[in-house]
Amino acid sequence: MTARGHTLLITGGRGFIGRAALADIAQTKYFSRIHAVRSALPGDLPPIPGVIWHYANLLEAGRVEQLIEDVKPTHCLHGAWDTSHGSFWTTPANHAWVEASTALAHAFGRAGGQRFISLGSVAEYDWSTHRMIETITPEAPNTLYGQSKLRFHQALMRLAEQFSFSAATGRIFYVYGPYENPHKLIASACRAVIDQKKTQFGPLGLWRDYLHVSDLGRAISALMMSDLSGPVNLGSGEPVRQSKLIETIGRISGGASNLEIGMREDASDDVPILFADTARIRLTGWYPKRHHEEGLAATLAWWRERQRHVA
């Protein structure tokens, strides 16, 4: 049922994760108005009826304050950030995004907003404990990206207390699915078997917590509609070996010979296992619906269609 007077503002709604969250939230009919922000970067808009799109450079001085004044949102889902592949861990733009995000939350609070959800990251934790548990696992990020996400989470919690609005940070683990960056692990494997091009990978012996992006979109939507506050892990809760995911893509596609696992040296010193405790998000009734085999098959089908249009 539509809630009269509830207005959502979503930033990053055209991105890989944001568009999945936007699609699920729109289906709930909870908001009478949904406003989404787009950047000047090329790309299509999610075909969701009724969404009002705004062009805005959120890093421009005064722009987030003007956006809040124009939209007057009761709820905000903030997903915009610099996620450029290969550089987002260290880019100085992280500092600018902390400032802009804090300004957005401050303006939201001053305008009388009710609930603010930020999309955070597993990178905000100390990874040495392997199983990430909210409020228990130390928050000790070792990258600029993780440190910046944590700085904004802390600022958001202070502002929520100052202005008496509800706030939570959804800490995202590993994701795959439509619109993922083509150079990421799952996407690159899908493209390799479709193009029948041999692609070499490292040993892929790490165990990580993966979700199909549609399940993540549902989790973000559930978090928005809940009264959970503080950090909330958004993951499957079940780690899977990365090599198994790639082997599955090879098997279901018939192109296993194009995926050469272990042919590149793995120079990383990443922790061997990393996954989410998901007890908090499951309080909302959410659970992953897509088993990896189904999710990978759907992702492969999407990339086939994408490649067909490009050709």
Domains 3-174+211-234 and 177-209+238-273+290-310 are alike in CATH topology: no
**Using CB atoms within 10 A of its CB, is residue 64 exposed (0-12), middle (13-18) or buried (19+)?**
buried
Structure token pair of residue 68: 């809040």
The domain segmentation of the chain, as residue ranges, is 3-174+211-234, 177-209+238-273+290-310
Q: Are strands 207-208 and 240-241 parallel, antiparallel or unpaired?
A: antiparallel
* Domain 177-209+238-273+290-310: CATH class, spelled out: alpha beta
How far is the C-alpha of 225 from the C-alpha of 34, rounded, in Å? 14
10 Å Cβ neighbour count for 265? 8
Per-residue pLDDT of the chain (311 residues; tens, 9 = 90+): 445 679 999 999 999 999 999 999 999 999 999 999 998 777 789 999 999 999 999 999 999 999 999 999 999 999 999 999 889 999 999 999 999 999 999 999 999 999 999 999 999 999 998 999 999 999 999 999 999 999 999 999 999 999 999 999 999 999 999 999 999 999 999 999 999 999 999 999 999 999 999 999 999 999 999 999 999 999 999 999 999 999 999 999 999 999 999 977 765 678 999 999 999 999 999 999 999 999 999 999 999 999 887 65
DSSP letters spanning 111-171: TT--EEEEEEEGGGS-GGGSEE-TTTS-----SHHHHHHHHHHHHHHHHHHHHT-EEEEEE
- Helix or strand run (H / E) with residue 264: none
Q: Give CATH for domain 3-174+211-234.
A: 3.40.50.720
How far is the C-alpha of 241 from the C-alpha of 85, rounded, in Å? 22
Residue ranges of alpha helices (H) inside the chain are: 18-28, 63-71, 93-110, 144-163, 185-195, 213-225, 242-253, 279-282, 292-310
Listed residue (258, 290, 242, 240) closest to 190, CA to CA: 258
